[in-house]
A = this chain, B = another copy of it.
Amino acid sequence: MSPSSPESRRTVSPAESPRSRGNDSEWSGCNSCHLRDQGFCSILQQGRKSNPEVEPRETSIRARQHIYRAKDQARHLAIIREGMTFRYVTATDGRRQILSVGMPGDFVATSFVVRDTAHFSVQALTPVRLCLFDKKALQQFIRSDLAALHCFLDLIVSEKESREAQIVDLGRRTSEERIARFLLHMATRSGWSGEGGFSFHFPIRQQHIADMLGLTQVHVSRVISKFRRSGFIQLGSGLLKITDPYALRQAAGGRNV
């Protein structure tokens, strides 16, 4: 149904051999990080004094490399500092379903705060820089710190809401609506205000879109070609330009993106 694109079979998971390709020399700690005061990082920042053992170190991952493989033991918790990842599952017959896309500031997989293994895998979409935390130490911190727990709970609830929005997309929207909504959603996550045109880094292949939205790559191609011909968007060399936001929103089903 949807053959995975031929992506690296080798796994040099940082969760398994974390020092394998770490550019630790470039590591400058949280103090100089622009994500320092955003999302969960701000919580970590606050708890830093009392919990020095949750200090992360950095690792680099090449595009397409696996960060985690389904059913492995997770040894670390990681936050994305730079780049994009995606989380997916594959059925035995090879059908792939992408569950989410990770961007800077996101946990690679929130599940590992509560679980030790998962049914999904995580792969780098672009070159990625990760902040690696000792799993035990961070689990301990989150579980014992009320503010951290509240923040994390909010994170998971938001994720759940996001998954439910996806369910509505998959269950009750046409391929055009799904694709238009996905593009708009990615634009929003990339900092788009929603006003006027917008250009942004879009390293996502049609096969990824297909596997995210329950379609085939061929069909995604057709729809995107149509959007392009209609002048809604321009797409090329990793850059997506929304040229007619209104029309794209119409294609997305009018109301709420």
Q: Give chain A's interface residues, CB within 8 Å of chain B.
A: 1-2, 89, 91-92, 95-97, 99, 110-111, 114-115, 119-120, 143-144, 146, 149-150, 152-154, 156-157, 159-161, 163-164, 166-168, 170-173, 211-214, 253-255
Contacts and interface: CB of A to CB of B under 8 A. Distances in A.
Contacts of A171: 97, 170, 211-214
22 contacts: A1-B172, A2-B172, A91-B168, A92-B254, A92-B255, A95-B172, A95-B173, A97-B171, A99-B164, A99-B167, A111-B161, A115-B157, A146-B146, A149-B150, A152-B153, A153-B156, A160-B160, A163-B167, A167-B167, A170-B171, A171-B211, A171-B213
A108 to B, nearest CB: 15
Nearest to A89: B168
A167 B97 contact: yes
A164 B70 CA distance: 14
Nearest to A212: B171
Nearest to A153: B153
Given A154-B114, A159-B160, A167 B166 contact: yes
Contacts of A2: 172
A143 B110 CA distance: 20
A214 B170 contact: yes
A91 B153 contact: no
Contact of A97 (B1, B92, B168, B213): B168
A205 B95 CA distance: 30
Nearest to A152: B153
Contacts of A115: 157
B160 A156 contact: yes
B157 A157 contact: no
Contacts of A149: 146, 149-150, 153
